[in-house]
Amino acid sequence: MVLSVNTNVASINAQRQLQQSSALSAVALERLSSGLRINSARDDAAGLAISTRFESQISGLNVARRNANDGISLAQTAEGALQEVVSNLQRIRELSIQSANATNSPADRVALNDEVRQRLNEIDRIATQTAFNGLNVLDGSLGELSFQVGANAGEAIGITSLTGSRLQDLGAKAEVSATLFDGALAGGNPATLALGTFSNGFFGNGNDIYQLTFDDGNGNSLMVQANDTPFGSVTVAQMVAGFTGAGFGNDGSGVQSGYSLDLGASADLTEAITNGTLSILREDGTNFSTTEFDSGTAFFPGFSNTADTTDGVPSISDGLAEGDFAIQVGDAEAVDIVGDFATTADFVSAINAQVPGALAVLDPESSTVSVTSSEAIVLTGNLTDLVAAFDAAEASPAGSLEGVDITTVAGTQDSVIRVDNALTEINRLRSELGALQNRFESTIANLATSVENLSASNSRILDADFAAETARLSKAQVLQQAGISVLGQANARPQQVLSLLQ
């Protein structure tokens, strides 16, 4: 090695080594002070990218846990309100049973009915005022609810339990107001057949129910009824004689948005319901009518087919034989109503006596009979001029707690049925809300597990190993001290040249 004064190679080497040990010491100190292995992209670019994604996922999952907890709170709010509704319904049922007793005078029943009305008003108040964060949860205004329970787009829980739920519609019953799939009009006596469909929430039909009547000019009419939702799925399998379906198949089958009937060559009537508005087009003066009626109105037309009356009540003149008329409630066997009936009232009494679970009610003013039950009804009949059969799958819900009146014995029986059906619906909704809460709790537990595992993974990438970094710092400090000492000696080496000049 050349002995030189101008270039001190040993000093340069010592300086370079000292710089490296100083850099190692600085990195170790930075990691120990921050607790992170990666403090910038220069430490580990790929690791930094992975860690950033982990942190986004973890923060999103933590927010999702809070969202799920909010979902539990909403469900608890709704269920708590429903519990109070149940208390009111139980009291209404007690009052109905009390009013049914023969020892009560008319004044007593009126007094009992006053409390029933107050209880119903309280149910309405609960329905309209129960809210969570400004959202009314029981008035039917909620659409499908989506709870974001994940860190990424599309990771949500959608619920429809409260969609369209309106407590004022509680107590809807299965009523024989179903889609007619086999019917005919014959003879000269006017007769009426009803067909309809409902698509409202599971609490039954809504408040605004419309009835459209088509008149063929001969006194025969066909009624179509709908609620306040768009008239979107009326199914007709066979039209009534004298009427033809426009837009349906040769056998009358088909489903259309809206409903139209061609009344021969004289007129064309078209009706549709959109957002609660009933629109009818007419080409000439053929009679038709539209009426709005209460949700508790009985829709099943009377079976009377003659003009004979007894005390103002039409009678069934020919009697009923085996197979003429049968009623099936739920899964029970169909019951044939057999006998001669002087009045339609006798016919109603026979139904109530022979068919468990069914309640027949006669309206003397309109000469109509309604048959209701808390279960689905299949009703078939062949009453001289009227031949009709109704499909249980198409049974329409009708009636609600709004129509409860216990001032009469018949009203008390009807009230018990409506309240029992309302309790069934509320229990079903509460079970759905309970299941929803359990699902949210399961979701929260899963999110917590995911956060734990992702945090552990991120820690292995991002966090500093203090044992390793402490050892690295000690090594760097020793190297620094040695480097400083060696650098001093290297800087002193050129002085050795002076001995050659002596």
Contact 229, 199 (CB under 8 A): yes
Q: Give the chain's domains with CATH numbers.
A: 49-169+419-453 (1.20.1330.10), 173-399 (no CATH)
Alpha-carbon dihedral sign for residues 39, 45, 46, 48: positive
Structure tokens at 154: 């599309």
Beta carbons of 185 and 216 less than 8 angstroms apart: no
For residues 38 and 25, give the distance between their C-alpha atoms in angstroms, rounded to a whole number.
16
By C-alpha distance, which of 140, 118, 121 is closest to 208?
Answer: 140
19-49, pLDDT tens digit by residue? 999 999 999 999 999 999 999 998 899 999 9
Cα 474 to Cα 458: distance, rounded to the nearest angstrom: 27
Least confident residue range of 308-312, 334-338, 362-366, 373-377: 308-312
pLDDT confidence tier of residue 154, bands split at 50, 70 and 90: confident
| Tokens, residue 42 | 């220069």
* pLDDT tens, residue by residue, 373-408: 766 666 665 443 333 333 333 333 344 676 788 999
pLDDT above 70 (res 131): yes
CA atoms within 13 A on the CB side of 164: 14
pLDDT of amino acid 342: 64
Is there a contact between 329 and 205 (Cβ–Cβ < 8 Å)?
A: no
pLDDT > 50? residue 306? no
Cα–Cα distance between 460 and 276 in angstroms, integer?
61
* Structure tokens, 347: 């016919």
More confident residue, 94 or 283: 94
Q: What is the pLDDT of residues 354-374, one digit of tens each?
A: 888 777 776 655 556 677 776
What's the CA gap between 296 and 402, in Å, rounded?
8
105-113 long-range contacts (CB < 8 A, ≥24 apart) are 106/407, 109/406, 109/407, 109/408, 110/407, 112/406, 113/405, 113/406, 113/407
Express each pLDDT in 216-263 by its tens digit: 444 444 444 433 333 333 333 233 334 333 332 223 233 333 333 333
- DSSP code of 169? G
User: What would the two tokens of residue 302 be?
Assistant: 């009377």
Counting residues of the chain whose pLDDT is more than 70, the rounded percentage is 58
CB neighbours (10 Å) of residue 105? 8
Name the helix (H) or strand (E) containing 221.
strand 221-226
Alpha-carbon distance of 51 to 461, in angstroms, equals 7
Q: Helix (H, G, I), strand (E, B), or coil: what is residue 11?
A: helix
Tell me if 191 sits within 8 A of 213, measured CB to CB. Answer: no
DSSP string across 40-82: STTT-HHHHHHHHHHHHHHHHHHHHHHHHHHHHHHHHHHHHHH
Residue 144 binned pLDDT confidence (cut-offs 50, 70, 90): confident
Tokens representing 237?
């399998």
pLDDT score for 69:
95
Asked if residues 316 and 383 have their Cβ atoms less than 8 Å apart, the reply is yes
Q: How many angstroms separate the Cα of 407 from the Cα of each of 111, 112, 114, 403, 411?
A: 9, 8, 9, 12, 7
Name 427's Cβ contacts closer than 8 Å, sequence gap at least 6. Answer: none
Contact (Cβ atoms closer than 8 angstroms) between residue 433 and residue 427: no
The length of the chain is 502
pLDDT at 334: 82
E strands, 232-334, are 234-235, 244-245, 255-256, 259-262, 268-274, 277-281, 288-293, 309-310, 313-314, 316-320, 325-329
Work out the pLDDT band at 289, boundaries 50, 70, 90: very low
Are the CB atoms for 10 and 421 separated by under 8 Å?
no
Q: E strands, 384-482, where?
A: 386-390, 396-398
Say which residues have a Cβ less than 8 Å from residue 471's Cβ, sequence separation at least 6: none
Predicted local distance difference test score (pLDDT) of residue 64: 95
Q: Residues 247, 228, 369, CA angle at the centre, nearest 5°?
A: 85
Predicted local distance difference test score (pLDDT) of residue 462: 92
- Find all residues with CB under 8 Å of 266, minimum gap 6, and list them: 217, 284, 286
* Whole-angstrom distance, CA of residue 274 vs CA of residue 211: 14
Residues 337 and 319 sit within 8 Å (Cβ to Cβ): no
- Strand ranges (E), 246-391: 255-256, 259-262, 268-274, 277-281, 288-293, 309-310, 313-314, 316-320, 325-329, 335-336, 339-341, 359-363, 368-373, 377-383, 386-390
